[in-house]
Structure 1
Amino acid sequence: MTDLDLYRHLDEMTPWDDRLQVLEVIGVSDEAPDVKTFTFRSDNQTWFRYKPGQFITLELPVGDEPVMRTYTLSSSPSRPFAIAVTVKAQPGSIGTRWMFESLKTGAHIKAYGPAGDFSHHSHPAAKYLFISAGSGITPMMSMLRWLNDCAPWTDVAFVNCARRPEEIIFRKELELLGSRMPGLSLGFLIEERSSRESWFGHMGRIDAVRLPLLAPDFREREVFCCGPEPFMRAVRQMLEAAGFDMACYHEESFGKPAIAPVPAPFSDAPPAEQPSADMAVAIRFAGSDVETMCVPDQTVLQAARAAGVRISAACEFGLCGTCKVKKLSGEVEMSHNGGILDEEIAEGYILCCCSKPLSALEIVA
């Protein structure tokens, strides 16, 4: 992209989607210990259209086979020329550690999305409570940044929990926003003091005593929660015990339900366990020039893997949209969780992880 291309107007550009996959890294910054923000632009002169709080999936070239990792966007769609993810490298993490060591300014990487329904755009309200722990702050920051740009008078109680003061991600920016947004109240909760930084705020873990101190009118608010699963479970139980209307509670989770493995067609299993050929459905993977049979209750993704056809997939339960492919012919039964748009379905796209053939099928893969 030339310098001249950087000055195009928004209406001269088309929106980015995962059919225009490649992103270019334009910035890497430290946010907290073991936390970095990676900022991207499209390498195809497109702009980014998404809901604040949505996520993308990055294809990371780690080892012989790339790995798929899903990250919430910490940026706001009110600033559509770039997107950013803020990630924390956990002990033993593979993909995130690779990003820390290898993803530098100027690098290019494939991405899929955006996807997800964890957004205040999907649940508009007069008053919000954003409650998070650790890197779960990222979707809250995306939503708050959008509100600051587009509706700065909005009533938002923002509660973030961290182990130590220096581990509060985006702390300086949050304090700055607190001085600019008249309806924003900030509440930080720290588990332990630090020798690196003094702390005079709230101490301990979120509970039924501390939550009313941080957000006295929490029962009147639309609540968004994100963080480790034990943290979100504790918040859910606390709100339920307080008589909160759980229809106004929303949480982000990339947890994958257990899926029973389906045997590959015509495997080495004993004859009695072999699927019957007349019950199977033919699938042709046009891009790979491979044909195989899909047995009952087997998804297109499972059939592809059994036939040696590689289709990228991250969540594998219809949420991230990574396994989206074009269907050329045939019919499927698809039970997704928001990882595909209605207009994409109308164009013939399916999610392989949650689609089961109803007839002979041909797809681009």
Structure 2
Amino acid sequence: MIPMPNRTSPVWTDAELLECVAVLPEAPNVKTFSFRAPSGATFVYKAGQFITLDLPVPGGNVQRTFTMSSSPLSAGYISVTVKVQEGSVGSRWMHDHLTIGTRIKAYGPAGIFHLPDQPDGKYLYISAGSGVTPLMSMATTLYELGNDPDICFIQCAKRPRDLIFRQKLELMTSRTAGIDLHFVVGQNDPYEVWTGYRGRFNQLMLGLMCQDYLERDVYCCGPESFMDSVREILISLGYDMDRYHQEAFSAPVDDPEDLPEFNDVEADATAAAEVTFAKSGKTAMGKETDTVLALARANGVPLPSGCSFGLCGTCKIKKISGDVHMVHNGGITDAEVDAGYILACCSHPLGNVEVEA
């Protein structure tokens, strides 16, 4: 159980307005807003939960939910970290008009994406963009408990300058042996040196950053496409998805019944698959858990290959018909996939498939 500080003041309820007491720039188009209760009431919530702010935008109030990026152990205030999204009315108003001294209506806290009551496990946090906010709250809470936590923290962003909380995460990591921190960016900032990971987060990066990922509870937050990719990576590596947790990036969930149902593809070890190699005139029988490359080798079909990890692109071939499930590591472009190409080393046939080989 997470110990909470002794409080002589009352606990804040949403009957009281919140007063903005600090505004801190974090990254391009990202600010952290801190709030206190004018009465001095304290805040009770779980790390990872969200609060709903009633924003007085022109044309009428709108309600927007934001995950608290602060730790519940710092009970005297709460913080939300907000990125201006394209076309967003609420976040744009906050960046332009929410200043120190402004009082607004708020509701909550709420949400089921949070640390367990007894947070003594091994954790893997994976985030992208502003999805880092609930994971920052969790990591800060575990750090502030005073014992070394056991966290592997992976944060992804477009550029180094877009890494929200970079300095704070580096500071916490430098003061405990219990946080293993990794950053992944899509590209460098101009005229700046970046020696970390570059590219799209993939299986190889995960294995290099966190070798014991199968032993950890995974918490993930980011854009939907990013979380879909993370789930695909974990499933392909045999991770127990009962230990996987993710936050709804656009609309946090407050009721387990409202959790989305994932249409993830999982290869079935009992389902038969058939691959026809058109040029070779051979047909290979196997299972969905077999790769196209493995079936080719087992049936004497010569296919060029290199890394066998979906990275180099050597085994790229044209798919004539059928469906495959492919989780690669950057060895093929989206345009090539749209044109019908697959990487044989990491493509699992789903039913009957025909390829040019």
Structure-2-length-normalised TM-score: 0.68
SS in 2 for 1:100: helix
SS in 2 for 1:39: strand
What pairs up with 1:268-287 in 2 under 5 angstroms? none
Whether 2:56 is the aligned partner of 1:61: answer yes
Alignment check: 8 A CA contact 2:150 2:179 kept? yes
Distance 2:191 2:103 in 1: 36
Q: Identify the residue that residue 230 of structure 2 maps to in structure 1.
A: 235
Q: Identify the residue that residue 210 of structure 1 maps to in structure 2.
A: 205
Q: Identity across aligned pairs (percent)? A: 46
Whether 2:11 is the aligned partner of 1:15: answer yes
Distance 1:67 1:196, change over 3 A: farther
Size of the aligned set, in residue pairs, is 255
Alpha-carbon shift at residue 183 of structure 1 (Å): 1.2
Q: Identify the residue that residue 188 of structure 2 maps to in structure 1.
A: 193
Alpha-carbon shift at residue 208 of structure 1 (Å): 1.1
Alignment check: 8 A CA contact 2:217 2:243 kept? yes
Deviations 1:113-161 (A, max 9, x none): 0001111225745210010000000001101111111143111000000
Deviations 1:297-336 (A, max 9, x none): xxxxxxxxxxxxxxxxxx7xx728xxxxxxxxxxxxxx96
Q: Identify the residue that residue 73 of structure 1 maps to in structure 2.
A: 68
Distance 1:102 1:141 in 2: 25
Distance 1:337 1:153 in 2: 34
Distance 1:225 1:135, change over 3 A: same
What pairs up with 1:63-142 in 2 under 5 angstroms? 63-121=58-116, 124-142=119-137
For residue 241 of structure 1, what is the amino acid of its counterpart? Answer: S
Distance 1:34 1:77 in 2: 25
What pairs up with 1:1-365 in 2 under 5 angstroms? 11-18=7-14, 20-121=15-116, 124-195=119-190, 197-253=192-248, 319=254
Alpha-carbon shift at residue 17 of structure 1 (Å): 2.2
Distance 2:113 2:84 in 1: 23
Alpha-carbon shift at residue 255 of structure 1 (Å): 5.2
Alpha-carbon shift at residue 216 of structure 1 (Å): 1.1
Distance 1:255 1:195, change over 3 A: closer
Cα RMSD between the aligned structures?
Answer: 2.0
Deviations 1:163-192 (A, max 9, x none): 101110011111111111111100100100
Distance 2:27 2:186 in 1: 16
SS in 1 for 2:64: strand
Alignment check: 8 A CA contact 2:222 2:249 kept? no
Alignment check: 8 A CA contact 2:131 2:249 kept? no
Alpha-carbon shift at residue 44 of structure 1 (Å): 2.5
Deviations 1:26-72 (A, max 9, x none): 00010000000000001232100000010000000112321010000
For residue 158 of structure 1, what is the amino acid of its counterpart? Answer: F
Distance 1:195 1:234 in 2: 28
Moved over 3 A (4+): 122-125, 335-338
Q: Identify the residue that residue 289 of structure 2 maps to in structure 1.
A: none
Distance 1:173 1:254 in 2: 22
For residue 75 of structure 1, what is the amino acid of its counterpart? Answer: S
Any unmatched runs of 5+ in structure 2? 260-357
Distance 1:176 1:245 in 2: 32
Alignment check: 8 A CA contact 2:40 2:76 kept? no
Distance 2:229 2:258 in 1: 24
Distance 2:148 2:82 in 1: 29
For residue 71 of structure 2, what is the amino acid of its counterpart? Answer: S
For residue 11 of structure 1, what is the amino acid of its counterpart? Answer: R
Any unmatched runs of 5+ in structure 1? 1-8, 257-314, 321-334, 339-365
